[in-house]
Structure formats: structure tokens, C-alpha cells
Amino acid sequence: MNLADLTQQIKTIDTYRRFGKITRVVGLLIESKGPASSIGDVCIITIKKNNKKIKAEVVGFRDENILLMPYTDVTQIAPGSLVETTGKPLQIKVSEKLIGHVCDSLGHPLDGFEIPNGFDQVQTSQSPPDPLTRPRITEKLELGVKSIDALLTVGKGQRVGIFAGSGVGKSTLMGMIARNTSADLNVIALIGERGREVREFLEKDLGKEGMARSIVVVATSDQPALKRIKGAMTATAIAEYFRSQGKNVLMMMDSLTRVAMAQREIGLAVGEPPTTKGYPPSVFALLPQLLERTGTDQNGSITAFYTVLVDGDDLDEPISDTARGILDGHIVLDRALAQKGQYPAVNLLKSVSRVMSGIVDQDHRMVANRFRSLLAKYVDSEDLIQIGAYKAGTSKEIDDAVKHYPSILQFLKQDEKKSISQQESISQLIHQFGEGGINGV
């Protein structure tokens, strides 16, 4: 930056400090008379008793008062506490030196790492790239999970949902992908997790190998709703920062459902009407704004995986249905398959990659379709086969499905500690289920 730029910045600096006073606190909301500010601006609340500073964000207005929501608890806030506006939205510091570390939703390291000078500042809330500047997805991304690489091939810049109930193996699958992917780095957001599960994920599922190439953003379930939403925004902003440098970033968020629940808390607190199953309209406005920020741009790509908690394994509940309509594919983890000992418990027949047909060659696509067709035929006839009502020779397709079902089942299984390259997975698929393994494709 030259002297002329510095001089211009000095001339445009606003030297005024604007204050207001808290008049009321109701539930999650703090109401303040002033200061003049805009939606999304960060304000600093000063506690009279001990001069402690608390950050809060402007989330709305009521008459001429502003409505604030804090990033921390509000136990010491009292009537008349001073509120000062910063005049700008939340910003975080990012650099390559952050790789290998864990931070909170405001970008502050949680593992004792001290951010040195020289880090770049980025806003957590940004607009998605212009759709006409987004390159098409043309390259495959290796994930190291055989069933996904071979049968649900993911492209660089694709956005995929992982749909599952609790305890079906989402965290384990995320750990496998983070350790084995060919992406340049991982950005992992743990939103609304139990405090116990954070360290368990870092040490057990991610491990030293995965952590060495990852940035993890944590916002646990006990934190205020706004802080959980900011966790999702912060992780996305970090991924965008590295994408702008031309890197291929793999981003994973666990879970998108808890982000929606946090927005529901905020929406109901500011007076929005509950609509679909108690979710206010702002939830369905937030999801596309957040999800569209990932993907490709003219510099690099963000390949994103968002886990979606499926209540009672209902894939048609509002958040699941909305996310499925925005994303470029979905992977369904099935509790029934997990109970049978299939890990990862990917239900291939309910899962789809919307870009796979455009990034794989014809041989691979034909064999994958044949694999899916055989599995579907077996599942459709499984009841008859299990009770012995089906007679061999009645249908050639069912005979083929029965013959190859053990191989199909074996192909879909993978030990969580075993890494298999994408090329090896595809070669194995074609060798076992191509013309040599199955009569015709």
C-alpha cells in the first residue's frame, strides 16, 4: 500500500464513537436505544460492574430501538449498559498458518495457538459468486471411499448432502473422507455438537493425519444460537479465502440441520411467524444463501459435504427436502444397513450424484448403472428370495442379482482405517462387474 492510499484511508476514517443504552432483555434478545447501526453490524456491550466487553450483533429493529443478539451469555447485562457500534460486520483473521488448528465461530483459536501479525481479514458474511463466472464441474475429486468414488463419483466444486439419523456413521464417514481426499486442504465445521464429541472426532475420526491438513471450526450445542450460525459462516469464509488463492478445498459441515435450528431460535425470538413445522421463513432464506457460497469460481473450488439429521429417518422433513433441492447430490446412510454390519452404510439406491454422468467415462458409467440395476433387482425380490418362494431360472435378471449379491455387498463395505485410491476403486468395479464379471453391460 503506497502513501497516497494511506492518506486517502486516513481522510475517510470516521472518528466519531456512537453509543446507545440497553433498555430491555427478553429471552435471547437485547433491546437498545441506539446506537445508529445496520443489520449485521457488530456492537460492543460494556458491563458496568466489571467493565467486561461482550460482542453482539444487530439482528433487527423494533420501533426506533435496535435488537441485538449476543455471541456469549447475557447473565451480567443490566439496564443502562452502554452499547457501542463498530459500524462493520464480523471479520475473522485467516492465513495458511491456521491449517492444523481448531478455532471457535469468531475465528479465535481454541488450542492455544496465538494468531501472529500478517493474517488477512475476511468478512464472515459474503455473497455467492456470480453464476456466470462459475466454471462447469469437469474434474473428479478423490475421496478414498470406494462406494462413493466408484458409484457416486464427486466432482471438484460439487455440493453434496449426507442424510442420516443419529448414530449411523456420519462422523466416521467424514473422518475417512478428510484423511483420504486428494483436496489441498479440509475446512471442517462442527456445529451444535455435544462437547464430548468434539475431541472424540478430532482424535478418533480425524486423527493426526487428517488434522495436519485441516482447519476445524467448533460451535457446541451449549453456545448461543447466533454463535452456532456464525460457526457455519466462519467456516465458509475460511474455505472461500483459500478458494480465492486457487486451491481445491474440501469443506464439511456437521450439521446443516443444527444451523437451521439455530436460525429458527433467532427467527422466533425476533417475532417471525412459525410456518413449516415450526420453522420461520428466514430459515429457508438462509439455507440457499449459505449453500450457494460454496462450489466453483474462476480461481478454485470448494467441494462441500453437509450432513443433514433425518428425524425418524424421514427424508421428506422440511430441512432435508429444502437441502436436497439446493445441493448437487445426496448420500443417504441407512440405519437398516448399519444394523446388518455394512459400513459405510451408504444406501446406493436412495443416493445420487448429479454431476457424475458428466465427469466419468462411458465404460465407468455403464458398469456403475449395471451395478445399481443388479442391486435394485435383488432388493425388489429380496422377500421372495429369503422365504424360498423364488425358483431359480424364472428370471435371468434375478438369477444374476442373486449370484452377484455377495460380491456387491463386499464391494460396498470398507474398513474405516483402509484407504483405497479412486483409480483402484474404479478398476475393481469394472473388473468385477464389467463384461468379465457380469454377462454384458
* For the chain, counts of helices (H) and of strands (E): 14, 17
CATH code: domain 19-89 is 2.40.10.170
Distance CA 158, CA 252 (A): 12
Return the pLDDT at 331.
95
Q: What pLDDT score does 41 carry?
A: 92
Residue 265: CB atoms within 10 A of its CB come to 18
Q: Which cell numbers in the block locate residue 34?
A: 441506539
Identify the pLDDT of residue 14: 65
pLDDT at 243: 96
* pLDDT value of residue 386: 78
Whose CA is closest to 189, among 107, 271, 264? 107
Using DSSP's 3-state secondary structure scheme, residue 106 falls into: coil
Alpha-carbon distance of 302 to 3, in angstroms, equals 36
The reported pLDDT for the residue numbered 3 is 79
Q: Which amino acid is at 183?
A: A
Nearest Cα to 55, choosing from 65, 42, 66, 67? 42
Residue entry with cell 460494556:
46
pLDDT at 15: 67
> Which regions of the chain are under pLDDT 50?
438-441
Whole-angstrom Cα distance, residue 15 to residue 36?
A: 15
Contact 342, 412 (CB under 8 A): yes
pTM over 0.85: yes
Q: What is the pLDDT of residue 437?
A: 53
Specify the DSSP class assigned to residue 108: -
Q: Rounded to an integer, what distance in angstroms lies between the CA atom of residue 427 and that of residue 351?
A: 21
Whether the upstream peptide bond of residue 344 has omega within 30° of 0, thus cis, is yes
What is the DSSP track for 117-150? TTPEEEESS-PPPPGGGPPP--SB---S-HHHHH
DSSP letter at 42? Answer: E
Q: What are the structural domain ranges in the chain? A: 19-89, 92-357, 363-433
Q: Do the beta carbons of residue 235 and residue 187 sit within 8 Å?
A: yes
- Under CATH, to which class is 363-433 assigned? mainly alpha
pLDDT attached to residue 5:
75
Whole-angstrom Cα distance, residue 271 to residue 83? 22
- Locate 38 and state its grid cell: 445496520
Tell me the C-alpha to C-alpha distance, in Å, between residue 57 and each of 48, 70, 125, 232, 359: 19, 6, 13, 16, 43
- CB distance 162 to 305 below 8 Å: yes
Question: Does residue 147 have a cis bond before it (omega within 30 degrees)?
Answer: no
Classified as helix, coil or strand, 351 is: coil
Distance CA 249, CA 243 (A): 6
Q: Identify the H or E element spanning 67.
A: strand 65-70
Return the ∠ at Cα 415 (arms to 414 and 418), rounded to 5°: 100
Cis omega (within 30 of 0) on the bond before 35?
Answer: yes
- Write the CA distances from 23 to 29, 34, 53, 114, integer angstroms: 11, 10, 17, 37
Q: Any idea how long the chain is?
A: 441
- Runs of H (alpha helix) within 207-317: 207-211, 225-243, 256-269, 281-291
The Cα-based distances of 262 to 90, 141, 265, 361 in angstroms read 18, 32, 5, 42
DSSP H helices, 145-194, are 146-151, 170-180
Residue 139 has what pLDDT?
94
- Write down the CATH number for the domain with range 92-357: 3.40.50.12240
| DSSP of 57-108 | EEEEEETTEEEEEESS--TT--TT-EEEE-SS--EEEE-GGGTT-EEETTS-
pLDDT digit string, tens, across residues 135-190: 999 999 999 999 999 999 999 999 999 999 888 888 889 999 999 999 999 999 99
